[in-house]
Chain A
Amino acid sequence: MPPHDAAARVQTTGYLRHTWPVRLMHWINVLAFTLLLMSGLQIFNAYPALNWGKSSYSGRPPILQMDARMDAQGNPMGVTRVFGHEFNTTGVLGLSAGMGGQPVQRGFPAWITLPSQQWLAMGRRWHFFFAWVLVINGFAYIAYTLASRHLARDLMPTRADWRSIGQSIKDHLLLRNVGEAARHYNILQKLTYLGVIFVLFPLVILMGWAMSPGLNALFPGWIDVFGGRQSARTIHFVVAWLLVGFVFIHLFEVVISGFWNNLRSMITGRYRIEGSEGA
């Protein structure tokens, strides 16, 4: 029941922050992205290296490689080589606990891959199924943001937003919490969401398509724009981790700007401002 008394209303104003299609598509995206990441790392483990160029065998070493070898004492160790520098990553990358607990050679560890054991065929099944979910959900979201004017109204930076960018950067760095009171996304939020929606997700999807030998034949040579097939695989991998980086920042901001309020607004749609958490 909305309070009728004016003073109380000031305290407990709530409003519909996210419409139901946005909420639904957000959670579908959470599910699809999580499963795509984990099955993607399973697929990566089948050839735990990244190359730049049209092929993996061009005479140049991989730019990233996870491997296992014996150390000076004769014990197995996991190593990760990045641009020629070797790091000991035993237990996490290159060598980690297998199903029975014994160390096995594998790129990413079992707790982050789907399935957890080495099983490329099943990883591909998960990956391509949820790739379709992500793509269909993504197109539905784009269509919705345009039709409902969500994009124009809530995500496009206004002139005032651009002017506030300095203040916004300062607020974020000082973890000054203005989100609670704001009915609108701030400029950094808008730019981040636009970047994720219109740059990172389309890029990770496009680079997935670039690895398909079928789609390669659509316009022969189109993937050379991105440096070739193995470059596309590398970009796919890097962008996936940039998206993980986004998720971490996103979750951090969600927590520090009122975890339950934010979570509720993404589940029921209601977001309360002016501090009153209510029951």
Chain B
Amino acid sequence: MPSQDNSRRRFLRRALASCGAFVLSGCDQLSQSAWFTKLLGNAEKLTFATQRLLLPRKAMAQEFTEADLSPFFRSNGTSNPDNPEYQALAANHFADYRLQVGGLVAQPRAYSLDELKALPSRTQITRHDCVEGWSAIGKWKGVPLSRVLEQVEPQPAARYVVFYCADPMDVLGTRYYESIDMEDAWHAQTLLAYELNDAPLPIRNGAPIRVRVERQLGYKMAKYIMQIQLVERLNDIAGGQGGYWEDRGYEWYAGI
């Protein structure tokens, strides 16, 4: 009797497992198909529209106190760009660094680190939410991107701000890049940050400049920014999705 019972149980277990495997492999196949991933991707548009509808333009991300600071602000992605040009800048403490700001602007210009630091600054203690699920709290100081935009005067056609970075992401040398729309670009907490926790921004966290976009996930907050371009469209840049990770299937709108 027990053996019969066992074999029945084994049969049931196998039947259940193969049923589950069938469903899973079906889902895995759907995950590989272009039309289905596109269908699933429609949720992002709905999320973006809903959040923009609910959130006032000026709604501020939560700010914290010194007591909430993470003892160590971890680095993710690139921790030291494998790029001789960047390494030369770093060796000289970024004295020769120039942030190029151009594209659809009336007054394109280049900023040295000292020139950026001379602009009015903002300091904020915010939570950095990584797409992986962890978060860390840090104190950021930088110049609001809006200050720079005021100086370069975006043209009416400009719809996105694109950040080009120094860090190669693979053996082909594909560089990291990111983009945000003008609403986030003008937001008070959107900073070109040069300090973390009262010290110059460490290389592992994006020296000399990283962007803070506090109402979105960490991958939007590009590190090692070399160049800023204002553009009308994203589809003619790199993979066309508006960012390094976006080109690899992540959402462009990372407010979720």
Chain A interface residues toward B at CB < 8 A: 35, 38, 43-44, 46-47, 49, 51, 54-59, 111, 114-117, 119-122, 124-126, 128-129, 131-132, 211-218, 220-221, 223, 229-230, 233
Contact = CB atoms under 8 A, between A and B. Distances in A.
Nearest to B28: A115
Interface in B37-87: 37, 39-44, 46-47, 51, 54-55, 59-64, 68, 70-74
Given A58-B71, A212-B256, A218-B54, 8 more contacts: A55-B68, A114-B24, A128-B40, A129-B39, A213-B129, A215-B54, A216-B62, A217-B62
A51 B72 CA distance: 16
Given A47-B134, A56-B136, A57-B136, A121 B62 contact: no
Contact of B129 (A122, A128, A129, A229): A229
Given A46-B133, A56-B136, A115-B28, A213 B214 contact: yes
Nearest to A57: B70
A236 to B, nearest CB: 10
B217 interface: yes
Residue from B20, B25, B43 with most neighbouring chain A CB atoms (10 Å): B43
24 contacts: A44-B133, A47-B130, A54-B68, A54-B127, A54-B137, A55-B68, A56-B134, A57-B72, A58-B68, A58-B71, A114-B27, A116-B25, A122-B31, A122-B249, A125-B249, A128-B44, A129-B40, A211-B129, A212-B256, A213-B127, A214-B216, A215-B55, A217-B59, A218-B59
A274 B62 CA distance: 60
Interface residues of B, number: 54
Contact of B27 (A57, A115, A121, A211): A115
B251 interface: yes
A111 B28 CA distance: 11
A213 B24 contact: no
Contacts of B255: 212-215
Contacts of B250: 121, 124
B238 interface: no
B128 to A, nearest CB: 8
Contacts of B135: 54-57, 229-230
B170 interface: no
Nearest to B39: A129
A200 B250 CA distance: 29
B115 interface: no
A103 B31 CA distance: 23
B133 A213 contact: no
A127 to B, nearest CB: 9
Nearest to B255: A214
Contact of A55 (B37, B54, B70, B214): B70
A58 B42 CA distance: 36
A128 to B, nearest CB: 5
B28 A217 contact: no
Interface string B119-135: 00000000101111111
Contacts of A111: 17, 20-21, 24
Nearest to A230: B135
B223 interface: no
Contacts of A217: 55, 59-62, 214-215
A223 B62 CA distance: 10
Nearest to B245: A121
A237 to B, nearest CB: 10
A126 B33 CA distance: 13
B28 A116 contact: yes
Contacts of A119: 31
Contacts of B39: 129
A243 B175 CA distance: 43
B131 A46 contact: yes
A120 B54 CA distance: 27
Interface string B228-251: 000000000000000001001111
Nearest to A48: B133
Nearest to B250: A121
A88 B72 CA distance: 29
A125 B40 contact: yes
Nearest to B187: A217
Residue from B28, B59, B214, B256 with most neighbouring chain A CB atoms (10 Å): B256
Contacts of A47: 130, 132-134
A129 B51 contact: no
